[in-house]
A and B are shown apart, each in its own frame.
Chain A
Amino acid sequence: MASGEDGTTDAAIQMLLRVGGPDLLLKMVDSFLKQVPQRIEAIRGGLAGGDLSAVHIAAHTLKSSAAQLGAEEMRGLCAEIEARAHAKEGDGIAALLGKLEAEAVGVRARLESEVERARSGA
């Protein structure tokens, strides 16, 4: 699977375009980009409140969505957070969360660019 410098892969995007054209890609990206800040906030809130179960659930959901859109680096960071939360090992999650937030900026830019490209038929 080809991997972009920004940590996304093309195969997932190409499949969405084959199945549903730009409309499906737009719908998926829109849904994903709306939930990213919500899930990050849920991880932060769970961590601050000592609720690692909430951290686990939010990281698991975001991991699955990131994987379906080919955001491989984000998927990996979520998997690490999920595993630590599941093992009740809160140490290190804050640092991973910082990386996740930074990664989310790049993923957003890449996905918005993919949507623009699909809309213009490029």
Chain B
Amino acid sequence: MPGDDPGPPSRRKTIAVVEDNPDNRLVLMAIPEDLYDVVTYVNGADAVAGIPLHVPDLVLLDISLPGMDGVEVLGHLRRDPRLRDVPMIALTAHAMAGDRERFLGAGFDDYLTKPIVDENVILRALAAHLAG
């Protein structure tokens, strides 16, 4: 009967984590993995090559990457029309005045600081930017 069709199962959303530090990567994979699929990239070049091929629902992007830094990676990704509206959150150990404005001005949707000592800060940011 038409009314009995539950429709397609809702798709789990995918988070791309771009982080060169293996310890930080472990944490950033562990926090969201119960709720989201997590794909990791270990440097900027890896992310610029891989993310357009597997467009995620959100990107967590470390700023202090070796070689191509996070702001540069963001610029590359934003030039791709498929990634223009994907939320991108900067992760940084810099805690300096003006950082928030600088990163939001560069085109990030949000800004979170490391080390991560409260998993709920990450989960709230993911939920907020993935809503709708």
Please say whether chains A and B are actual partners in one complex: yes
A: residues with CB less than 8 A from B are 1, 11-12, 15-16, 18-20, 24, 27-28, 31-32, 35, 57, 60-61, 63-65, 67-70
- Flag the segment in B6-14, B23-31, B69-77 that touches A: B23-31
Decide: A31 and B117 in contact? CB cutoff 8 A.
no
Q: For the complex, is B116 an interface residue (Cβ under 8 Å from A)?
A: yes
- Chain A residues, Cβ within 8 Å of B64: 60, 64
- 5 further A-B contacts with Cβ under 8 Å, apart from A68-B24, A68-B115, are A19-B27, A31-B23, A64-B93, A67-B115, A68-B116
In the complex, what residues of A have CB within 8 A of residue B101's CB?
none
Task: Please report whether the interface of chain B is mostly helix, strand, loop or mixed according to DSSP.
Answer: loop
B80 within 8 A of A: no
A57→B66 contact, CB < 8 A: yes
Measured between C-beta atoms, what is the minimum distance from A7 to chain B in Å? 14
Inter-chain contacts of B117 with A (CB < 8 A): 1, 11-12, 15, 70
* CB within 8 Å for A64 and B119 given contacts A19-B27, A27-B26: no
- Are A64 and B26 touching (Cβ within 8 A)? no
B27 touches A28 (CB 8 A): yes
A27-B29 Cα distance, complex, nearest whole Å: 13
Q: Select one of B22, B93, B119 contacting A67, CB under 8 A.
A: B93
Residues of the B chain whose Cβ atoms lie less than 8 Å from the Cβ of A31: 22-23, 26
